[in-house]
Structure 1
Amino acid sequence: MLKKDTIAAIATAMSNSGIGIVRISGEDALDIITKIYRSKSGKCLADQKSHTIHYGYIADGEEFIDEVLVMLMKGPHSYTGEDTVEIDCHGGVFVVKRILETVIKYGARPAEPGEFTKRAFLNGRIDLSQAEAVIDVIEAQNEYALKSSVSQLKGSVHEKIGEVRAEILYHTAFIETALDDPEHIDVDGYGETLRGVVEKLLEELQKLIDSADNGRIMKEGIRTVIVGKPNAGKSSLLNVLVGEERAIVTDIEGTTRDILEEHINLHGVSLNIIDTAGIRDTKDVVEKIGVDRAKSQMNDADLIIYVVDVSRPLDENDSEIMQMIADKQAIVLLNKTDLESVVTEEELKNQLQKPMIQISAKEETGIRELEQVLKEMFFQGDISFNNEVYITNVRHKTALLDARESLKKVLQSIENQMPEDFYSIDLMDAYEALGSITGETIGEDLVNEIFSKFCMGK
């Protein structure tokens, strides 16, 4: 999979900006930059020390293209593990493209999407879980997602998976050695010893699998649906959370007839929030479609925010909503507390056991309390990334589930008193499944698919 030729790409966004970066990596990187770099002192960059920065110009023959800073990072102490050069130039789209064209003219080829990170992986600088964390850092949309991605980039998943694989490999090797040399190594009763080991490993894997729910929410956000009867203040709440007038708000019941989706960041917590039509019985065909869609959205939600208008008595529409959310993750917001209340928190608690917060969407009160309840519901308050590992990648979770099933088969073989070679077969299946997370047991096609999702200069 590893190509030794020299690649180049623009590593910054293709828009006018303060600076632009052109990245070069490969065995000819230093030779290429030497040909196109000009300094006032006439120094040759190939002779300079690694991890140094040099001021000068990029030129195509006699034509000077731009004033630049050039950073040298000689392999193996670089991001890719190869000789790497980064050219920091002015950030105009034309000038950055012109420099890239010059680099390619003098011996590089255009990099494929994610090829720099792919080379870092193939050269052993990072494992596959760390490589995937790179794109997660770039795409992080909130504080938790960023912290989790950085933790994985530092090797938290790599380390945890490595510990489990090392334990599996040790016992597999012992069994295989014993089967090859039964005269000197006795495996009688080893099944019971192995049972304790496998049960402990299963606990470790289950902990990682269970973290995937929090991990998904960190990465993708909490799928949140706002429900309530007409004119309860759902659209007003959405506008407050978004910080602008995204939903139409009127005194006319049934104004919202279709779903409206927004992504918001609520002090580190991401919400993929959906405003829905007010739930009530209606003969209006269009409004009825909106009500049906609101009910459908509730089935797939991570969280339901039920908005109650405390200035109006509860009715059959409220009763229907409370029945629908009784067994779901939900928060009840007692809205319009700026008006005289005819619905009390105690009255609602008699019918629904959910967290309740008094708010006023009009006066924008109660939002901080909502933020805190969200953190406690989904992240048990504040998340620590010091010792905890969170699985945020679906591919990783699938591999963990496969490894768990293989280890369960080991326990079944022990229970059925099967020969020891049955143990090693399933142990190795678990070992291989976990290896796919770090990239130690993975095919070229999947590697190419993973890195094809990266941006060109990364």
Structure 2
Amino acid sequence: MFDESQEPTIAAIATPPGPGGIGVIRVSGSRASSLLTAVFHPTNRRRGLRSHQFCHGLIKDPESGTMLDEVLAVYMQAPKTYTREDVVEIHCHGSYLVLESVLALLLRLGAELAAPGEFTKRAFLNGRIDLTRAEAVMELLEANTPARVDMARTQLGGGLHDVIMAIRHRLLACRAVIEVAIDFPDEDVEIIDPQAMIEQVSHEVLTPLQDLLEAADKGRIYRDGISVVILGRPNVGKSSLLNSLLREERAIVSAVPGTTRDTIEEMLTIGGVPVHIVDTAGIRESAEAVEEIGIERARAKLGQADLVLFLLDATSGITAEDEVLRQALPAKPVLYVVNKIDIVEDYRVDDYHLKLADAPLVAISAKEGDGIAALEQAVYELVTGGDQWDPGHEVVPNIRHQAALQKARQAGSRVVDGLSIGLPPDLVAIELQAALDHMGDIIGETTTEDVLDLIFQQFCLGK
């Protein structure tokens, strides 16, 4: 635990801006209790403040006697707090002006404004949580899908930490044997059994590391999402499809070609995957100047897409204009979507499969909503590979963890190689320590200060 006496007492508004029923101000540090005593006047003065019990009263400016708000306040004595320091929470009415006035009073009396993520950083530095749990707090705050919430909960519950610690335990056991061999090089008894250690590192270190890396790859789309672009010539129903997927009238729908003159971007969720969907201007050769700008933006978005929904019109089939667009497609996954099947009596899906060389294809009516569920399922299968994978019950490392895991796995592979060719124990020990250090980076034991600053700067104020 770092020296609390050297750290300032910090304060911040812990609830988001805007009106609400309650707004919370959080204070942490050695002066938290004295600050509360200076400004808080309990309704029941004989009762006084008791740790971890709410108390009703008034916040008053000790100099002017001005009443700022009627509040509930709670003092929580260390170490049974979020930061393992003394913590105070003042629950005010949810007016941001009221909250700012109470915070300003605390700052005037000697508290310092907390930096983004500073409360959670103190919880980490004081040993209450490891770095993976600290990052999970931020992930939970930023979660915009149920799947991301579940992933954050698993990590916050210690899922990743526990797996990392199990792997580190195996590495430490190997290092202990190696160090004995280094300390007693002249012993007649063979201290290291190279083959047994190779099997131990392979099965108990490299295999779980690979499992984590594969989970990180699978979980990336659930955490970061994908970009999907709706592409097609004018008036094939792109805006109608966007509206149908969003279940709302987001884009203007008209029979006039060229109605959409700019990209329209929205977020939705398909099978737990965040989808950034882009409706583009219909691409055609003869377009007026304003429409041409929209077409150029459509081409730019196409280059950034993870998946293209290529919309075709069932009333006209695949036209020469469609073929020109198809030939210009970048090397991206494409799902062909045949629209307007509600107004075509003799629609035959086999004809399209034949012309599109059996490319993935779904038939829909964007106007009536027919086939939309099948389209969403097809999108999900294309971006996930069809795996029935539940991110809420998996340990899913983030990109920082992934980089450290890859380095740890490389070091572990060098341990196996070194044992296989009979390298001296001191050289094998170097690689074992490297693997341990990379694992330590994940949980925060060996993470550098600049990396810690970068992680916690991404938090919001008050957390």
What is the TM-score with the length of structure 1 in the denominator? 0.89
Task: Check the 8 A contact 1:375/1:382 in 2, yes or no.
Answer: no
Task: Determine the C-alpha separation between the residues in 1 that align with 2:286 and 2:197.
Answer: 64
Query: Partner of 1:57 in structure 2?
Result: 58
Query: Partner of 1:217 in structure 2?
Result: 221
Task: Determine the C-alpha separation between the residues in 1 that align with 2:434 and 2:345.
Answer: 62
Aligned residue for 2:317, secondary structure, equals: coil
Query: Partner of 2:403 in structure 1?
Result: 398
**Cα gap change, 1:389 to 1:88, in 2 (>3 Å):** same
Task: Check the 8 A contact 2:42/2:48 in 1, yes or no.
Answer: no
Task: Determine the C-alpha separation between the residues in 2 that align with 1:45 and 1:353.
Answer: 76
Aligned amino acid, residue 124 of structure 1: G
Matched, 1:100 2:103: yes
Cα distance, 1:189 vs. partner?
6.2
Query: Partner of 1:441 in structure 2?
Result: 446
Task: Determine the C-alpha separation between the residues in 2 that align with 1:109 and 1:196.
Answer: 54
Task: Determine the C-alpha separation between the residues in 2 that align with 1:8 and 1:283.
Answer: 58
**Cα gap change, 1:422 to 1:345, in 2 (>3 Å):** farther
**Cα gap change, 1:309 to 1:381, in 2 (>3 Å):** farther
Aligned residue for 2:60, secondary structure, equals: strand
Query: Partner of 1:170 in structure 2?
Result: 173
Cα distance, 1:165 vs. partner?
1.6
Aligned residue for 2:343, secondary structure, equals: coil
**Cα gap change, 1:268 to 1:45, in 2 (>3 Å):** farther
Task: Determine the C-alpha separation between the residues in 2 that align with 1:203 and 1:325.
Answer: 39
Cα distance, 1:326 vs. partner?
10
- 1:54-77: CA deviation from partner (whole Å, max 9, x where unpaired): 111112223322111112322111
Query: Partner of 1:427 in structure 2?
Result: 432
Task: Check the 8 A contact 1:141/1:219 in 2, yes or no.
Answer: no
Cα distance, 1:397 vs. partner?
1.4
Task: Determine the C-alpha separation between the residues in 1 that align with 2:217 and 2:286.
Answer: 37
Query: Partner of 1:304 in structure 2?
Result: 308
Matched, 1:238 2:281: no
Structure 1 window deviating more from structure 2 (343-352 vs 147-156): it is 343-352
Task: Determine the C-alpha separation between the residues in 1 that align with 2:332 and 2:18.
Answer: 45
Task: Check the 8 A contact 1:175/1:187 in 2, yes or no.
Answer: no
Structure 1 window deviating more from structure 2 (245-254 vs 173-182): it is 245-254
Task: Check the 8 A contact 1:310/1:342 in 2, yes or no.
Answer: no
**Cα gap change, 1:421 to 1:345, in 2 (>3 Å):** farther
Query: Partner of 1:123 in structure 2?
Result: 126
**Cα gap change, 1:185 to 1:216, in 2 (>3 Å):** farther
Task: Check the 8 A contact 2:237/2:366 in 1, yes or no.
Answer: yes
Matched, 1:360 2:365: yes
What is the TM-score with the length of structure 2 in the denominator? 0.88
Aligned residue for 1:357, secondary structure, equals: strand
**Cα gap change, 1:440 to 1:174, in 2 (>3 Å):** same
Query: Partner of 2:43 in structure 1?
Result: 40
- 1:251-280: CA deviation from partner (whole Å, max 9, x where unpaired): 344444543322223474321112234455
Matched, 1:345 2:349: yes
Aligned residue for 2:58, secondary structure, equals: strand
Query: Partner of 1:385 in structure 2?
Result: 392
Structure 1 window deviating more from structure 2 (442-451 vs 293-302): it is 293-302
The Cα RMSD (Å) is: 2.8
**Cα gap change, 1:135 to 1:384, in 2 (>3 Å):** closer
Alignment of 1:12-411 (within 5 A): 12-43=15-46, 45-46=48-49, 48=50, 50-61=51-62, 62-183=65-186, 186-187=189-190, 190-200=193-203, 201-266=205-270, 268-279=272-283, 294=298, 297-319=301-323, 328-340=332-344, 343-350=347-354, 351-377=356-382, 378=384, 380-381=387-388, 383=390, 385-386=392-393, 388-391=394-397, 393-411=398-416
**Cα gap change, 1:234 to 1:116, in 2 (>3 Å):** same
Task: Determine the C-alpha separation between the residues in 1 that align with 2:57 and 2:189.
Answer: 71
Task: Determine the C-alpha separation between the residues in 2 that align with 1:100 and 1:252.
Answer: 56
Structure 1 window deviating more from structure 2 (143-152 vs 276-285): it is 276-285
Cα distance, 1:375 vs. partner?
4.0
Gap runs ≥5 in structure 2? none
Structure 1 window deviating more from structure 2 (89-98 vs 209-218): it is 209-218
- 1:37-58: CA deviation from partner (whole Å, max 9, x where unpaired): 2123214645x1x321111111
Gap runs ≥5 in structure 1? none
Aligned amino acid, residue 308 of structure 1: L
Task: Check the 8 A contact 1:205/1:404 in 2, yes or no.
Answer: yes
Aligned amino acid, residue 389 of structure 1: V
Matched residue count: 454
Task: Check the 8 A contact 1:402/1:433 in 2, yes or no.
Answer: yes
Task: Check the 8 A contact 1:311/1:342 in 2, yes or no.
Answer: no
Cα distance, 1:295 vs. partner?
5.1
Cα distance, 1:130 vs. partner?
1.0
**Cα gap change, 1:456 to 1:314, in 2 (>3 Å):** same
Cα distance, 1:332 vs. partner?
3.0
Task: Determine the C-alpha separation between the residues in 1 that align with 2:238 and 2:303.
Answer: 18
